Amino acid sequence: MKKLRIATKKKKTNKVGIFLDSSIIVASIDKDDKHNLEIRSLLNALKPYNEKQSLDIFIPHIVKAESLSRVMQKLDCSGKVALKLFDKFTNEFDLCLMGGPRIDQKFVDKIYSELSTKYSIRHLSANDLIIIFMAMELGAIVITCDVKMKSYGSKFYRKKIYFVSSHSKKLKNEAPLLLTEFYRN
């Protein structure tokens, strides 16, 4: 892992922040995953913007933990092997680990008190909810292949969660829309 950035508050900057969901990471690491080629193509298309310093692609620690667990399950490998594959992935695309806010009682209470009163969040996993809330706090984009995360998360974080898969009957692939946003800037 090349970098560790701790970001806890939205800073005024022209940079775009992108959070990767574990579905993106697992798809990119697992060569047999049906999303592998299109996710790797998308990350390669974003590379020039990352290199020009106009965007930061972040992996929150909670996403790293979830990704490692899923890689171990899907590839039937040890934690050591999963870590090597994860590090290879992050180095290839020059990605950053992000500490994010401390997930303590106050943070959990804030998520559930602010979001549950306005929106139905019961369909989201705790990890998805935390990732979306972290992105909201920083004004960042979330990219995912997870239908549930997009469907339910978009109800309260509109136009900031991009579904980037062409393998869904329910949702359209928003990768072209995401890339268009970068081409315009």
Indicate whether 34 belongs to any domain. Answer: yes
Indicate whether 7 belongs to any domain. Answer: no
Per the CB < 8 A criterion, the answer to whether 166 and 153 are in contact is no
pLDDT of 176 > 60? The answer is yes
Indicate whether 41 belongs to any domain. Answer: yes
Indicate whether 147 belongs to any domain. Answer: yes
Give the domain range for residue 69.
14-184
- Strand bridging mode 96-98 / 3-5: parallel
Output the average pLDDT for the chain: 84
pLDDT tens digit sequence for 61-102? 889 999 999 999 999 999 999 999 999 998 888 777 676 666
Average pLDDT for residues 119-136, to the nearest whole number? 82
The total of structural domains in the chain comes to 1
Indicate whether 117 belongs to any domain. Answer: yes
Identify the pLDDT of residue 121.
75
Indicate whether 4 belongs to any domain. Answer: no
CA distance 60 to 96: 8
C-alpha torsion sign, points 152, 156, 158, 160: negative
Identify the pLDDT of residue 77.
97
Indicate whether 38 belongs to any domain. Answer: yes
Indicate whether 96 belongs to any domain. Answer: yes
DSSP assigned state of 97? E
Q: Identify the band that residue 118 occupies on the pLDDT scale cut at 50, 70 and 90.
A: low
Check which CATH number belongs to the domain holding 144 and give it.
Answer: 3.40.50.1010
- Strand bridging mode 3-5 / 16-20: unpaired
pLDDT of 6 > 50? The answer is no
Residue bearing the bigger pLDDT, 118 or 31: 31
CA distance 18 to 58: 6
